[in-house]
Structures are given as structure tokens and as C-alpha cells.
């Protein structure tokens, strides 16, 4: 069985000013598939506070979140369905990307609302005309798995220190290599404070 992986081309790497009061900027990529049929957006950096996902979101999904009547303003949270990630900042950061690309503008006297502007079809064609470099998305799952293994080891080591009667877990992690854990048992009970 062959597993197909989507291949991407990086068309553009840029920064967008965040739209919140605290300022700062985010880094983003405009990508396409190798057949140049679809466009994708990926947020890759944040120079100040706020979590984000670097997931690759299909631009069609973002465009589908726009109001049918382009004269109607919309909040950033309207972009939530375009993302798999449930990061609270993802829609706002995407709104900043749309603003940077000239696809939306601020609504006068309502800074937290956006309005569709420009010709999205022309923008799409201009992006697809750009030269592209092969792009391999970072493999976050492998890093997360390694991190969770390390956390499990630390938790286990911590448990071994807190539970000195558990010889097996201490030996398993090699922290007491060549030494056995001895308990001094006073008459009438167990005293964990005197463990070696």
C-alpha cells in the first residue's frame, strides 16, 4: 500500500503585522501543490507572544469563510472553520496575512472587523505565476513523540526517587547503576527517609 504525501512548492515567504494592540509580526508562507492547482497558507513564526499552529491551510477553505456579500464586514473568528488547529490565535493571524496580501482591509471606525477588498482571482493567478522552491513541512509529530517520551522518562525517574522501594524502576533508568537501593526498616514500620 502506497501512502501519498502532498508535495508543496514555496511561492512566497513574508511577514505580516499583527492586528492587535500589542503589535509585533508573524511570518508566513504562501504555498502551492506541485501541479499548481491550489494555494495554501502556513504561519511559521511569531516574534512576540501568542501560540500558533504551522498547519498548512488550503486557501479555498479560507476564501469559503468570507461573507457572500463582500461589502459586509466580518470578524477574524469567521476564519475558524479554515483550520484544523483550535489555536485561539490562528484566525487573527490569518486575518493579518489576508491584510498583508491586500485581500482585506480594516473597516473604518471598527478596527476589529475586516472587509474583502481587491481582486482575489488576480491575486491567486499572480501567486501561481511565481517561481517555487520545493517545500517540506516540518514533522511536528516526531518531535512531539520524542518530547513525550522524555517526559515519560522524567516522570518515571521522579516516581523512582519518590518511591524508593521500587527497585525495578530505579535500575531501569540506570540512575543507580551498580548500586542497589536499600531500605532501612526500623522496627514496626518503613522509614523512607533513610533510603540510600
**Distance, CA of 72 to chain centre:** 30
Would you say the pTM of this structure is higher than 0.85? no
SS3 (DSSP) at 183: coil
**Chain-wide mean pLDDT for the chain?**
77
Instruction: Using the predicted structure, report yes or no on whether residue 87 has a pLDDT greater than 70.
Output: yes
15-29 confidence digits (pLDDT tens): 999 988 888 999 999
Statement: residue 173 has pLDDT above 60: no
Residue 66 to residues 45, 62, 122, 138: CA-CA distances in angstroms?
Answer: 25, 7, 17, 29
Average pLDDT over residues 32-59: 93
What are the structural domain ranges in the chain? 8-138, 141-176
Helices marked H in 51-89: 59-64
| C-alpha–C-alpha distance, residues 142 and 13, integer Å | 25
Distance CA(147)–CA(195), nearest Å, equals 31
The secondary structure element, H or E, covering residue 133 is: strand 133-135
* pLDDT higher than 70, residue 91: yes
Q: How far apart are CA 52 and CA 58, in angstroms?
A: 16
Sign, CA dihedral 100-137-55-10, equals positive
User: How large a percentage of the chain has pLDDT more than 70?
Assistant: 68
Task: Please give the C-alpha separations between residue 131 and each of 5, 36, 37, in angstroms, as whole numbers.
Answer: 21, 11, 14
Query: At residue 126, does pLDDT exceed 50?
Result: yes
In this predicted model, what pLDDT tens digit does every residue of 130-140 receive, in sequence order?
999 999 998 76
pLDDT recorded at residue 140:
62
Q: What is the dihedral of CA 69, 72, 77, 79, to 10 degrees?
A: 30
**Consecutive H or E run containing 54:** none
Amino acid at each position: 500500500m502506497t501512502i501519498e504525501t502532498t508535495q508543496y512548492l514555496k511561492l512566497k515567504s513574508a511577514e505580516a503585522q499583527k492586528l492587535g494592540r500589542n503589535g509585533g509580526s508573524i511570518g508566513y508562507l504562501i504555498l502551492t501543490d506541485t501541479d499548481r492547482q491550489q494555494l495554501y497558507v502556513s504561519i511559521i513564526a511569531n516574534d512576540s507572544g501568542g501560540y500558533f499552529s504551522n498547519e498548512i491551510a488550503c486557501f479555498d477553505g479560507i476564501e469559503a469563510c468570507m461573507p457572500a456579500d463582500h461589502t459586509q464586514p466580518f470578524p477574524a473568528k469567521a476564519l475558524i472553520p479554515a483550520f484544523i488547529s483550535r489555536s485561539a490565535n490562528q484566525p487573527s493571524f490569518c486575518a493579518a496575512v489576508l491584510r498583508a496580501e491586500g485581500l482585506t482591509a480594516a473597516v473604518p471606525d471598527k478596527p476589529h472587523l475586516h472587509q474583502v477588498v481587491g481582486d482575489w482571482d488576480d491575486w491567486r493567478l499572480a501567486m501561481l505565476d511565481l517561481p517555487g522552491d520545493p517545500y517540506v513541512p516540518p514533522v511536528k509529530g516526531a518531535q512531539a513523540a520524542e518530547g513525550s517520551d522524555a517526559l515519560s522518562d522524567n516522570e518515571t525517574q521522579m516516581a523512582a526517587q519518590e518511591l524508593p522501594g521500587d527497585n525495578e524502576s530505579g535500575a531501569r533508568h540506570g540512575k543507580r547503576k551498580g548500586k542497589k537501593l536499600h531500605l532501612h526498616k526500623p522496627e514496626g514500620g518503613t522509614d523512607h527517609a533513610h533510603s540510600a
